[in-house]
Amino acid sequence: MPKTGTEIGTGREKKEMGIRTTIILLAAALGAALPLAFANAQMIARPANSDVPIPMGTTKGLRPDRLVIRGGIMVTGRGTPGTGRAAPPEGPVDIVVENGRIVDIIPVDPVSVASGLSEQATGDLIIDATGKYVLPGLFDLHAHIPAIDRAGDDAIAYSFRLWLGHGVTTLRDAGTGAGLERMTEQRRLSEAHQIVAPRMRLYKRWPNTGRVGGAGHTPDEARRLVREFHDQGADGIKVSHGPGHHPDVLAAIVEEAAELKMDGVIVDLKVSETDARIASEAGVVSIEHWYGVPDAALPGTQNFPTDYNYLDELVRFRLAGHLWKEAVEYPDALSDVIDGMIAEGTAWVPTFSIYEANLDFMRVVTLPWRDRFVHPAILEEWRPQAGVHASFHSEWRTADEIAWKENYRYWMNWVHEFWSRGGLLGLGSDSGSQQSLYGFGLVRELELMQQAGIHPLDVIKIATTNSARVMGLEENLCGIRFGCVADLIVVDGNPIDNFKVLYGGGFAYYGTDRQGEGGVIWTIKEGEVYDARALLREAEWYVEQDKR
């Protein structure tokens, strides 16, 4: 009994269907396919397959009493405890969700069915995942939720649609421009399923004001500031400084955050007094990017030219591209640094994708998804210019790119080494700047983890249960297992074979007759079902509006 109205699931029908959620459906009015149709009193979820952008706010999450994801190949994101070996794909299986938790995983492969042990599950909302892959929701451990006006009037909602549209259900915000007052409210609304948003933990960025008084540059000031951020609702602290980042201050920040039972402290060390060894011994949760790791292996300072100036970003990034090459001259020292991190339980979130502009600037400014998905205000920020952080590429040279390519090779080798010795890797994109967009940058990060020599199944484990462990959320966000929170994504294609199928907008098949296929179809956050492609079409609509 397919419906053709603009709203279904209300009134009598809703009662009959046993669906409590009101399902708003504007697809018909907008020329898109109906997302839902009925079959034997169970509702079959149908994604609105269309290229037509739709207004922001059109797509609502569905929260059925009992959801069945039918017949997909699952990748559980789990594996040997610790950082090791990931579990293999299994399927087809029916995954049943009630009250935001996974309550059944039923194998429906021919052998299981013939054994008579597998009965097909029923529910009031059915997602047909036949031929699709089902994975746990992805994490972005290095997110920068934008300031509200960074991209038009609704930048935060735009970024949330890009993340959810790429299957990202959990964000660790590494210092938001939107302020704690607004973001703690967004965090609450997201937890209450009242807005379209990933789950988020908020890490307040340490003030980055050189050595100005009052900005947390002594241990006492630091303790006071941590208490202040805690009272404002911060979950954790992100410290990212230049040379004025003192070890005694970091130690005080970590201690105070631990005393207040906050999630912890993460660090972006850049070139500072504190290196990865000091930060790790101080007890930080994770080293972000890579700064501080090679530095800790050098016997003295990096071989800077005599006119080096840290505050000149172009020069700073240019010379950063030579650092690993110097450090690998001291392999024993490097080995000690990463062994120390592993012994202290310090995680590493490399954010490979954010520095790709340094490898090949022309590549990143000609990516096919830019026109449709990057907000014009962000594009303007990305234009090389003085005065905007990370937009330093005005005089980027062939030699700089060659140096950075070599830098990546050593960096990836040591990330692989850290991981293979049992170090805890997390997945983070740092997207928003340097030509990397929310969601798209995260998929790229998966590709680069694979390039570092890690099997795609292990990469998925890193992007899900290992990242949950980095955030201290592993008890509930434990991948696909009975009892775990139902953060799940249904993917059109096999991401283990090709991570590119995760790019929204069908860019895995760019320019072919399969264009429009691929991407995440459904993103499920704690049992709430979102049409992922529709969310991306909303982001596209928003960009289109603001371009006018």
Q: How many residues does the chain have?
A: 548
Kindly indicate which of the ranges 155-163, 424-432, 475-483, 499-507 contains the residues binding Zn ion, using the contact rule CB under 5 A. Answer: 424-432
What whole-number distance in Å separates Cα of residue 295 and Cα of residue 290?
9
At its nearest, how many Å lie between Zn ion and the CB of residue 178?
14
21/351 with CB nearer Zn ion: 351
Instruction: Give the residue from 546, 529, 532 showing the smallest Cα distance to 503.
Output: 532
Kindly indicate which of the ranges 167-175, 181-189, 438-446, 524-532 contains the residues binding Zn ion, using the contact rule CB under 5 A. Answer: 167-175
CA 42-48-52 angle, 5° bins: 165
By CB under 5 A, is residue 445 in contact with Zn ion?
no
By CB under 5 A, is residue 174 in contact with Zn ion?
yes
What whole-number distance in Å separates Cα of residue 342 and Cα of residue 500?
31
What whole-number distance in Å separates Cα of residue 102 and Cα of residue 439?
25
Instruction: Give the residue from 63, 13, 3 showing the smallest Cα distance to 35.
Output: 3
At its nearest, how many Å lie between Zn ion and the CB of residue 276?
16
For Zn ion, the binding residues in 363-392 under the rule CB under 5 A are none
For Zn ion, the binding residues in 461-500 under the rule CB under 5 A are none
Question: Residues 6 or more apart from 441 whose CB is under 8 A from it?
Answer: 353, 354, 429, 430, 431
Q: Which two tokens stand for residue 321?
A: 């591209």
For Zn ion, the binding residues in 299-338 under the rule CB under 5 A are none
At its nearest, how many Å lie between Zn ion and the CB of residue 345?
22
430/528 with CB nearer Zn ion: 430
In the beta sheet, which residues pair with residue 39?
Answer: 42
Sketch the per residue contact string, 116 through 135, with Zn ion: x for CB under 5 A, - otherwise. --------------------
430/531 with CB nearer Zn ion: 430
Assign residue 134 a region (left: φ > 0; alpha: ψ between -120 and 50; beta: otherwise).
beta
Q: Are 453 and 462 in contact (CB under 8 A)?
A: no
At its nearest, how many Å lie between Zn ion and the CB of residue 29?
40
For Zn ion, the binding residues in 225-284 under the rule CB under 5 A are none
173/531 with CB nearer Zn ion: 173
Kindly indicate which of the ranges 174-182, 361-369, 495-503, 509-517 contains the residues binding Zn ion, using the contact rule CB under 5 A. Answer: 174-182
At its nearest, how many Å lie between Zn ion and the CB of residue 240?
7
155/529 with CB nearer Zn ion: 155
| Helices 247-259, 219-231: inter-axial angle, 10-degree rounding | 40
CA 70-76-78 angle, 5° bins: 165
Kindly indicate which of the ranges 166-174, 324-332, 443-451, 529-537 contains the residues binding Zn ion, using the contact rule CB under 5 A. Answer: 166-174
What whole-number distance in Å separates Cα of residue 345 and Cα of residue 97?
33
At its nearest, how many Å lie between Zn ion and the CB of residue 162?
17
Q: Calculate Rg over the CA atoms of the chain.
A: 23
The position carrying tokens 């950063």 is 320
Rule CB under 5 A: choose which of 430, 445, 526, 528 binds Zn ion: 430
Burial group, residue 217, by CB count within 10 angstroms (0-12, 13-18, 19+): buried
At its nearest, how many Å lie between Zn ion and the CB of residue 364?
17
174/249 with CB nearer Zn ion: 174
At its nearest, how many Å lie between Zn ion and the CB of residue 430?
5
Q: Are 325 and 399 in contact (CB under 8 A)?
A: no
H or E segment and range at residue 412: helix 398-420
**Count, residues near Zn ion per rule CB under 5 A:** 2
DSSP state of 354: G
At its nearest, how many Å lie between Zn ion and the CB of residue 473?
20
Question: Residues 6 or more apart from 477 whose CB is under 8 A from it?
Answer: 136, 137, 170, 464, 465, 468, 471, 484, 485, 487
At its nearest, how many Å lie between Zn ion and the CB of residue 500?
25
Kindly indicate which of the ranges 75-83, 171-179, 227-235, 364-372 contains the residues binding Zn ion, using the contact rule CB under 5 A. Answer: 171-179
94/268 with CB nearer Zn ion: 268
By CB under 5 A, is residue 143 in contact with Zn ion?
no
Q: Which two tokens stand for residue 382?
A: 């990305």
Residues that bind Zn ion (CB under 5 A): 174, 430
